[in-house]
Chain A
Amino acid sequence: MHALPSYRRCLAVFAAGAFALAAHDADAARVSRLTPPSELFSSGEADPVIARFLPGQQFDLQATVQPDAGQSIVNFAFYVDGSPVTSRNAQTIARTSIVTETGPADTCIADGRTTGASGCKLVSGLPSNTAIISQRAFTKSAPGVHVFKIVAQQGNGVLISASGNFEVVGIDRGGTVAKNIIVLLGDGMGAAHRTAGRILAKGYAQGKAKGRLAMDTFPYGGMVMTASLNSIVTDSAPGMQNYVTGNKANNNQEGVFPDDTIDPFDNPRVEYLSEYLHTLQGKALGIVTTADVFDATPAANAVHTSARGNGTGIVDQFLDDRDLTGLTVLMGGGRKWFLPNASDSVSPQPANGSQRRTANDYVLPDDVVNGWGAAPGALDPERDLIADFQAAGFAYAPNKAALDRAFLGHAPNKLLGLFAYSNMNVSYDKISGRRGDSTVVDAFGFPDQPMLDEMTERALEVLSKNPNGFFAMIEGASIDKQAHLMDSDRWVHEVIEFDRAVAVAKAFAEDHPDTLVIVTADHECSGAALIGASTLTTADREADPAAGKSAVGTYDAAGFPKYAILDDGYPETTNIDHRLLIGYGANADRYETWLPSAFPTKDTQQPFPPAESPADANVRNEGVGYAVSGQVPGDQAVHTATDIPLSAFGRGAELFHGVFDNADVFFMLGQAAVGGAD
């Protein structure tokens, strides 16, 4: 055990607040949080084991220790299976830290408790002498359940300890490994979304589907339980990161476990599959999304933060830590985070629309930098991140024409595509633009955006140049975003676009049999339900947009809606006479017309909406449509805890069957990529 320099600072802070502590805090010394999370620590039960890792996968050990009043922590050690993991050598010291409340005492401590105010170190409500103790980048290779323990020593010599457990999951099945892994994630895509896509794109006749979605043709599959660490209802950050870390995160958090510090970039980390496979095998990483690339799903493959909204720091980490993740392709929207902002405090600023800000940028503490080999980061809103990507060898494509030009002759070695200011326009509007009505994409300012299948083709061309293989995450992001907005026409279109990307990946896997492809979602969104079909014609619905229930044909009256599909692969129109009707079980208040909206409803991350866009789902068609009372608060539909389907194709696909947890998927992927399958 060893004393750290920060102990002196801790003592100073403690001395200042000693009187208040003595008066108000009689709590016994204890460890209030132990990471990685375990039931052994939380409830004393050894099962279930919460934290699980692949052999050699890195993760941080951390404890929040609350000493006796008047005391502070002077030494500590972590033990795993009885053996110390902290020693006195210099390298280990550089990988450890004690964080205490060293912010201004008059701001950060009140009544002997931390305040969590801006500029402070710790969250609110902790005793002022609390210490956050970390051991960074620990690994364990031996399969099995392991017990770990923190022992912290107070200044008066009293020891405080607590234990937890974790498991290292063996990948010893053997077989031929999958060289390439493609995860296609339809954000928010539950069973109803898939079915709706099939009804529109393929149609039914006498009870039989006339064709199958590409994802329907995958031979293996199962149902996925989607809970996050702190809720049965996940958001997209843990929804994705649970698949690629093998562990549960809190909502809003990606690549980290929760902690008790305010800094969103210092949380205890867990290694991503991309980092694991890049380190172990030299695989490349590709991230393709129709969202802003800083969004939760893309970021939860390469970026470690407890605050999914910290756009500047997130996009910086994509580039800064490319040597850890193998980032080779990054495509989507989100140009606003990459443009230089000369200063976020001094005017005038460039009028380029940059959203880079110091307030959501990142700088890492030394122990994280030393432990993980991560870039330290900098508060640099003035950074020209596009130029930095280009300097690092990435070809940059701001639109589809430039994307195509980048592949003239041969595919680039690395690729950055930023096709919109924030989230890309949705398929419904992009296809309208390609068919001649570019009103919406023109109004958003980005008339030439690629479709997801086109982005997927280009990504696979680049990634497949790596002889060591790749891990690719391809996201159909706005299935979720449009389901939140209860815009049925637009999210069904998104499912069709997503499935066309699935078809591209499947074709690649057929040509490259050493490839595993899975199609899944992170969670269901909106409680979407296919309730029947319209009994009214389009003209009748337009004449009476408040027809509401009287337009809904259920059971026999629903029949089989028949959509015409054009050569571009999309419905001629979603607004056919006897159209599919969709209800929502997780809905906010809304006004239903059973008609398409000419303009997309403003989504919460799209900062460049045209004036014609409805402000939110709960006011769209207000005064026109049939009022549907919501069951959830707020303006939009919400995620649900419903299990979601997963389909698998290619090498190792047979590993995916039954009902399993989202974190289990990580170990199936690890088995296929490292242990082998078939």
Chain B
Amino acid sequence: MSFVRCLFVSTLMTSVLLLAVAHASTSETARAHRDAAKTRVPAALAVRKDLGPPPAGVTELKFREVFKLPVGPKGLEPTDKLSALDGKRVRLVGYMVRQDPPPKGTFLLAPLPVQIGDEDESLADDLPPTALRVDLGKSRDLAVPLLTGLIQVTGTLHVGMRADPATGRSTPAQLVLDAAPERALRHVARDLAAQSKTHKHL
């Protein structure tokens, strides 16, 4: 925001244009989140009743396997299973966190539906510490469309508490999404953008 404001001071017309563009971009992403209930969940991420075992070479990881239970007197500790999966492909089932502002090229996956607002709540919110960051390897500028309900993600796990450079939010492990679900997310985003354009012309 400070960048936009500086431009505003230096040249009013340019900044008005930039603000309009930024507003349009934000509006589209925000609309994607608002219309999430209507957003179809692509097959590569959908969870059906009989999920079945993960594909060969992929290990199932559950949120309750992220930290040792009960919690120790000095805090959380990663499970041996989590540590052993560093660099391996895993499948995780959870909920995409509804974020405000919406994320680009990444999203958070939590064990239950959560909504967080970084601007309003800073980092003191109710995001479960087991939530993991899911990164889109090749689509870092993609405004990730919000998918509601349970989803499955498959990708390569990187274990270790690391902060998201954009938000400062730390997660105990990060998962780089496989190409197929990443491609599916891009298609959903593209479809939403097309729908948005159609609506504008109506």
Q: Which of A319-358 contact B (CB under 8 A)?
A: 335-336, 339, 341, 344-355, 357
Would B127 and A445 count as touching, CB distance under 8 A?
Answer: no
CB proximity to A under 8 Å, residues B143-202 = 160-163, 168, 170, 172
**The residue from A106, A344, A360, A608 contacting B163, defined by CB atoms under 8 A apart:** A344
- For residue A311, give the distance in angstroms from its CB to the closest CB of chain B: 5
Whether the Cβ atoms of A106 and B9 lie closer than 8 Å is yes
Inter-chain contact B5/A353, CB cutoff 8 Å = no
Set of chain A residues within 8 Å of B8, measured between Cβ atoms: 110
Nearest opposing residue in chain A for B160, CB measure: A348
Residues of B within 8 A of A360 (CB): 122-124
A-chain residues with CB within 8 Å of residue B112 when the two chains form the complex: 602, 609, 611, 613, 615
Chain B interface size band reads 35 or more
Q: Check if A117 sits within 8 Å of B161, measured CB to CB.
A: no
A interface footprint on B68-98 (CB within 8 Å = 1, 0 otherwise):
0111111111100000000000000000000
Q: Which chain B residue lies CB-closest to A335? A: B75
A605 CB-CB contact with B under 8 Å: yes
Residues of chain B within 8 A of A357, CB atoms compared: 122-124, 168
Q: Which residues in B have their C-beta under 8 angstroms from that of A347?
A: 160-163, 170
Say what secondary structure dominates the interface of chain B: loop
Q: Enumerate chain B residues within 8 angstroms of A597, measured Cβ to Cβ.
A: none
**Which A residues are CB-close (under 8 A) to B127?**
607
- Give the Cβ gap from B6 to chain A, nearest Cβ, in Å: 5
Find out whether the CB atom of A106 lies under 8 angstroms from the CB atom of B122.
Answer: no
- For window 565-622 of A, CB contacts with B under 8 Å fall at 602-611, 613, 615, 619
Interface of A is mostly: loop
Q: Hey, which chain A residues are within 8 Å of B67, CB to CB?
A: 351, 353, 445
Contact between chains at B73 and A402 (CB < 8 Å): yes
Measured between C-beta atoms, what is the minimum distance from B39 to chain A in Å? 18
Complex contact A117–B5 (CB within 8 A):
yes
Tell me the count of chain A residues lying within 8 A, CB to CB, of chain B. Answer: 54
Across the interface, name the chain A residue whose C-beta is closest to B7.
A106
Q: How far is the CB of A30 from chain B (nearest CB, A)?
A: 28
Q: Indicate whether B129 reaches chain A with its CB closer than 8 angstroms.
A: yes
- Give the complex CA separation of A442 and B64 in angstroms: 11
Instruction: Specify which chain A residues have a CB less than 8 angstroms from the CB of B161 in the assembled complex.
Output: 347-351
* A325–B29 CA distance with the chains assembled, in angstroms: 49
Residue contact A117 to B2, C-beta cutoff 8 Å = yes
Query: Given contacts A448-B70, A604-B126, A613-B112, is CB(A352)–CB(B75) below 8 Å?
Result: yes
Query: B54 in the interface, Cβ–Cβ < 8 Å?
Result: no
- Cβ of A191 under 8 Å from chain B: no
**Known contacts A352-B75, A607-B128, A609-B128; A446/B70 CB under 8 A:** yes
A345 to B9, CA, bound (A): 30
A399 to chain B, nearest CB (A): 8
Instruction: Check: B111 CB closer than 8 A to any chain A CB.
Output: yes
The answer to whether B128 touches A110 (Cβ under 8 A) is no
A contact residues around B76 at 8 Å (CB): 351-353, 421
Contact A344 B168 (CB under 8 A): yes
Provide the A205-229 mask, 1 if CB < 8 A to any CB of B, else 0. 0000000000000000000000000
**11 pairs, A vs B, C-beta closer than 8 Å:** A117-B1, A309-B122, A309-B124, A310-B124, A339-B74, A339-B75, A341-B170, A359-B122, A604-B126, A610-B64, A611-B64
Interface on B for A, CB 8 Å cutoff?
1-2, 5-6, 8-9, 63-64, 67, 69-78, 111-114, 121-130, 160-163, 168, 170, 172
Sorted nearest first, the 5 A-B pairs with minimum C-beta distance are A352-B75, A353-B76, A398-B73, A347-B162, A349-B161
